[in-house]
Chain A
Amino acid sequence: MAASSERSPPPFPDSEEPELLEDSDEGADAFTGTSISEMDSPSPDSTRPPKDIFNEPLEDIFSDPLSNINSEPQKKVDTKIPSPSSDEVVDLFSDPLDDDSEVISSPEVQNPMPDLLNEPVQAPKSDGSSKSSSVKKAASAELFGDEDEEDLFKELPKVVTKKPQPLGPPVDVFTEVKSDVKVKPQVKDDPTDLFTEEALTAPAPKPSASSSSSRTNGVHSEEHDLFSEATVELSLDSPRNDRKKKDAVKPSVSAPVAPVASSSSKAPSKTLEELEEEESEDTFDLNISVTNPEKVGDGMNAYMAYKVSTQTSLTMFRSKMFTVRRRFSDFLGLYEKLSEKHSQNGYIVPPPPEKSILGMTKVKVGKEDPSSAEFVERRRAALERYLQRVVSHPSLLQDPDVREFLEKEELPRAVSTQALSGAGFLKMLNKATDAVSKMTIKMNEQDVWFDEKIQDVENEEQHMRKLHIMVESLVNHRKELSGNTAVFAKSVAMLGSSEDNTALSRALSQLAEVEDRIEQIHQEKAANDFFTFSELLADYIRLLGAVKGCFDQRMKAWQRWQDAENMLQKKREAEAKLLWANKPDKLQQAKDEIAEWEAKVTQYEREFERISATVRKEVIRFDKEKARDFKRQIIKYLESLLNSQQQLIKYWEAFLPEAKAIA
């Protein structure tokens, strides 16, 4: 509670907008400060014509959406509670489509974004400053108030007149979100629309604000965590945004603010997306390598430690080059942390390589046989790829845990990663319940894109698995071939030694030598099959699992929304009964409940929209990465094959005259 009120923009001096205070309800005391923006906020939504937005100074545009975030939902709650007729409310929700159609054409959603993009340098600064520190915020608001006095005055009456019809603005809020959904399918393949898509994500944090305000009503406290986290996100957006922008524009300047907390939110994702675009074009300047696997300790308590070296020019890191030692469970721990924070938001968190008790035990026992050396190398390479995937994800790179993992000398031991621990058992239990609930959720997919994509991913995973099995089999057969070739080479050498024709004997021993080299080639090919091809597939099978996890998260969000919707329906029925039974004493309570559930429905719906948007963006990003990865790896694979062939030609060419020399 206290946290949320701290984070919400602080109260403004009364003297500044005295009229506004008259409007605000007493329930909104914590938010009184926001009233200035509250007054503003409806303007882009409903009252102000779109061209105003362009005419206005930059600060205005930016303070608008921000304050919207805080103010809109709050107002919604404020206004709804005193609303005299519940029928109107019912109406509102029963035919939202009409509202949609009105709003779809409204430009608010798209309009702020182009501006944002046109002035990226200044924009985030004001953005950041307005939010990161209360003083600045007040100052900028003042500034804005001073500069646009005229404007303000023009608008104010409109807003005030709007107020008596309290249901107006909330409708906009709802329909705005709904219209977002409508826009999406058109967005799909058009890259220029990418920004509008991000714009869609922009309203996402609203629910958190609305929830915090609903909490002021003291209703649902059980969701405290979620909301407070959301508010944390809000408050952190701006510094990061700010910093990111600065990084992008003038990379020489060292990062001014180190982000304290993590979890990504939608607001910075716009800018991150831009950044990512840039990044994917430029070379990604963060090189991570995992080297020097080393056994630490003895017996069953032994473990492998890896050297994780980072080389970067990104200013978010303290130095350009640094090295830490990490053990396997640290990598797992990193994944646990990341997945806990990000997967529920619909992010694809790259999964680490699997634990292998058998392989590790072999290493622990300490036999220096080739299979355990191969195991270690395989794991090392997998860990390296894992880290590279993590840092190449723009949102995950920002996570303090990632930086800590890369930079900090000593990490607290990751405890919950052991397979045979209580935590492991709990995890298994959770997985099982998840699987069950997944089966019970019957989601009728409205979104064609998702419908197809889910199916595609399912198919793709299946084929990848099949392919993986076959490549594994190829690896095994090549190894077998290599072994058999070696044996044959020895045998031919023996045959050559017992042959009594000198030239033939010589040719046979030459053949044995050739076969020996071919054995090497086969071995290299097997290693190549394995490390460049099979491991790539294994990685992507895991990653596709993560993608499916994202889809599941989205489905869960949908389920929550549907449940809330059902609940609301029930409440309304109850209210209707009460009306009919004419029990006014309970009516008020029923109305309160309805309002509460309406808020929840809105919130869950937005969460669903938000997660859908994120998942979608993530999947698009994933597909891009996948295409790049596969192309790069397969070309590498083929180049290595090419090399082998060249060697093969060399060997046989050398042999041919020997064979001809037999007389």
Chain B
Amino acid sequence: MMSNLDINFFFEDFRLNAYILNVDLQTDATLQVDISDALSERDKVKFTVHTKSTLPNFKQNEFSVVRQHEEFIWLHDSFVENEEYAGYIIPPSPPRPDFDASREKLQKLGEGEGSMTKEEFTKMKQELEAEYLAIFKKTVAMHEVFLCRVAAHPVLRKDLNFHVFLEYNQDLSVRGKNKKEKLEDFFKNVVKSADGVLVAGVKDVDDFFEHEKTFLLEYHNRVKDSSAKSDRMIRSHKSAADDINRIASTLYTLGTQDSTDLCKFFLKVSELFEKTRKIEARVAADEDLKLADLLKYYLRESQAAKDLLYRRGRALVDYENANKALDKARAKNKDVLQAETTQQVCCQKFEKISESAKQELIDFKTRRVAAFRKNLVELAELELKHAKGNLQLLQSCLGVLKGDT
């Protein structure tokens, strides 16, 4: 489908973006992870995870392993399920690679090959390949961001599963979840969200968390909305760019009909449209990278932060229940010791979560502001660059056309 060479060719440019999303505060060079290569096969993508580290737990300083999307998910789930990490924002798992739409289009193109001219076909093919590549690169970037976030996290970076994930050069033989597990997951989610509503209703004793809770609930919804809207906006922008492309090629055929002045004029305009199309497509792609991806990432990140607050809220509720149980036990003078230990465990858990959660949420905010700044500045700069390019194009074309007439 796509040669490896092609991918490497485009790879560099996307790598940059991965770092843009991942504005981490860590400058620590003891553990650096990136995805050095990726290979798209029929129904899966193989990522080459490259690690550079001075940590003593690794046998070598530099090594690479091949990982698949499912293994990333496994790593993420292992973090989520680990009680130890209840007080941290677990970096959101990367989204599933979704090439189906793009593949389908390529296939359709192959079927419709006879019905269009050679130029149209080549053009369409190039377009679709570019689209495919964009999705591919984005997928890679998302996976890389996840790993980088984990590697930058003061606690998670020490996780054993993470080290295995990085170092073990065989298949981790994680399997996808079967139907039963999926059903269980579903029920868990239902219970969790129902519980979440209950827990969220509980008034927090701590003003900081109370504030964070209301903020995150609202923020998450809004970022979700913005993300969906930005996607739609960008999609229509892309369609408009496609239309311009088609207009350019029709103008070209009109222009090649004859050799009159008007035909030459059409050819020039067609050329302009072709270039405009490229710029418009770039604008759409850059908005996609700088804006939509940013929003999407923070949609997931805010969800992770919300999850953290849920866990804390849950712990708080447990703690309060344990307190009540202890009071009851003392009143009845029955099982007091057991209730006391439960109460103490709950108290400890709650305090531990609260302690790390506060720092995590502050970090989240810092990261968010930095990420937005970086992306918005770059978005504005790119928009300016494209708009200026387009302006220049129009100016020079108008100059030529007016000179002609």
> Which A residues are closer than 8 A to B by beta carbons?
456, 459-460, 463-464, 466-467, 470-471, 473-474, 477-478, 480-481, 484-485, 487-488, 491-492, 494-495, 498-501, 503-504, 507-508, 511, 623, 626-627, 630-631, 634-635, 638-639, 641-642, 645-646, 648-649, 652-653, 655-656, 659-660, 662-663
Contact = CB atoms under 8 A, between A and B. Distances in A.
Contact of A463 (B215, B254, B383): B254
B380 A652 contact: yes
Nearest to B237: A481
Contacts of B219: 495, 498-499
Contacts of A459: 257
A505 to B, nearest CB: 10
A662 B374 CA distance: 9
B148 to A, nearest CB: 22
16 contacts: A460-B254, A460-B257, A463-B250, A467-B251, A471-B247, A474-B240, A484-B233, A507-B372, A511-B376, A630-B265, A638-B269, A641-B394, A645-B387, A659-B377, A662-B369, A662-B372
B377 A660 contact: yes
Given A498-B215, A498-B218, A504 B391 contact: no
Contacts, number: 157
B394 A467 contact: no
Given A495-B223, A500-B215, A627-B265, A481 B233 contact: yes
A88 B116 CA distance: 60
B175 interface: no
B370 to A, nearest CB: 8
Contacts of A487: 229, 232-233
B158 interface: no
Nearest to B284: A481
A99 to B, nearest CB: 37
B4 interface: no
Q: Chain B at the A interface: mostly helix, strand, loop or mixed?
A: helix
Contact of B391 (A484, A642, A653, A655): A642
A466 B379 CA distance: 35
B332 interface: no
B398 A635 contact: yes
B377 A488 contact: no
Contact of A642 (B215, B373, B380, B398): B398
Given A662-B372, A663-B373, 19 more contacts: A460-B254, A464-B254, A478-B236, A481-B233, A484-B235, A488-B229, A488-B230, A491-B229, A492-B226, A501-B369, A504-B372, A630-B266, A631-B265, A635-B401, A641-B276, A649-B387, A652-B387, A659-B373, A659-B380
Contacts of B381: 656
A481 B250 CA distance: 23
Given A499-B219, A642-B394, A642-B395, A649 B257 contact: no
B27 interface: no
Nearest to B373: A662
Band of interface residues on B: 35 or more
A656 B377 contact: yes
Contacts of B233: 481, 484-485, 487-488
A463 B248 CA distance: 12
B405 interface: yes
Interface in B234-259: 235-237, 239-240, 243-244, 246-247, 250-251, 253-254, 257-258
Given A659-B373, A662-B373, A634 B269 contact: yes
A22 B233 CA distance: 92
Given A627-B260, A635-B398, A498 B243 contact: no
A349 B215 CA distance: 68
